[in-house]
Amino acid sequence: MPELKTCSFVWAADIPYPEESAILPPAGMRHIIAHDGRKDILPFLLDVSLAHHGGRLYAAWYNSTDAEICGTSLIRGVYSEDGGDSWSEPFVLAGSFSNVGRHCVPVNFFPCGDDLYALVTEMSGRNMTTALKLYKRQPGGEEVWTQISQVADGFITNTNPIKMDNGNWIVGGWTPRKNETPAFPVALISQGDDIAAPWRCRFLYDPLNPDGVRIRCPEITLHAQSGNIVAYVRNGNGDGPAYIYESVDYGSSWSEPALSPMPIAGSKMCAGILADGRRYLVYNAERGNFVRTLLCIAVAEPGSRVFSKVYRLFEGGDAALGGRGRTWFYPAKCEFGGYLYIGCTLQEADNVRSAVIAKVPLASL
């Protein structure tokens, strides 16, 4: 592993990062169960995705019929028409209960034009990615989703695509490590709004370089403004902070990696930009390898890419959810109606998993 510098534009240099005891929840935040794993026969749930479209707030995730990537895995979802107060029964977006050995893992929503789409990765087994496919919601009141095309080979995407100022969509992707073959983190870039056509692949770094970084699970989330793209990459090795990459040419090329100065755990992050221009990053606070008991959001001032405030979203047993809780991880986000909705997976002490949401008033951030 090469010696890496600490990134200079992630946390404000003149503001000390707060102690955990000083990190408070946003005022007026509500916690919501979108899908209750205690009432489901499927034992494994992960990687929530959120979207708002056609008056509905969508939450989707992947279920496995046994353990993770065992039996079969399918994408299921629910929707709310009242801002999260009540939810539909689950529907199947992709995959099938009966198709053993085929795994749809995970899903990521994005709107294009007047329609809602989703990217879904398919796998034939653990770490064996086969295709990245595009699904489209069909018009009407029923939740009918149709596979449109295959836009890339075996890449996993964990966060939603972003429309760039040059008209292309961009999303972070990666292939898992296979034996001695390292993981390949990339940016996938559409051909404008022809999103059904193949997306181009741009590597963040050369994982075959013997002097390069090695990342076991390089899950990626992005900020995109003009041609500047910042990639936050999970350190899946369990021994250090997240990696930061930067592109100044719409994701075509990338800088050498730098290390985050923030105590971000080795777990998936989720980045976004509020309608008023403030950047934010949702992440697990570092508490040890695979300890995901505190989920936070860092927020920047309008027009800045330097975070200067941190809020607590979920931690431990949650009083608002009847004391349920242990770990809160793999976040997603959606903004509308004066709120930021942050979804994640709740895993309880008995390993039951549910899809939950923090509904945060924008004025409190």
pLDDT one-digit tens code per residue, 60-83: 999 999 999 999 999 999 999 999
What are the phi and psi torsion angles at 159 (to 5°)? -135, 165
319-340 pLDDT, tens per residue? 999 999 999 999 999 999 999 9
CA–CA dist 281, 295 (Å, integer): 11
Nearest to 70 by CA among 47, 94, 102, 92: 102
The correct CATH number of 20-364 out of 2.120.10.10, 3.40.50.1820, 2.60.40.1120, 2.60.40.1760 is 2.120.10.10
Helices marked H in 165-246 — which ranges?
A: none
**Domain extents in the chain:** 20-364
- Which tokens in the block code for residue 136? 């489209």
Q: Which amino acid is at 70?
A: C
**Is there a contact between 355 and 345 (Cβ–Cβ < 8 Å)?**
yes
pLDDT at 2: 64
pLDDT at 182: 77
Is 0.75 surpassed by the pTM of this model? yes
Report the relative pairing of strands 162-163 and 145-152 from DSSP bridges: unpaired
In the predicted structure, residue 239 carries a pLDDT above the cut 70: no
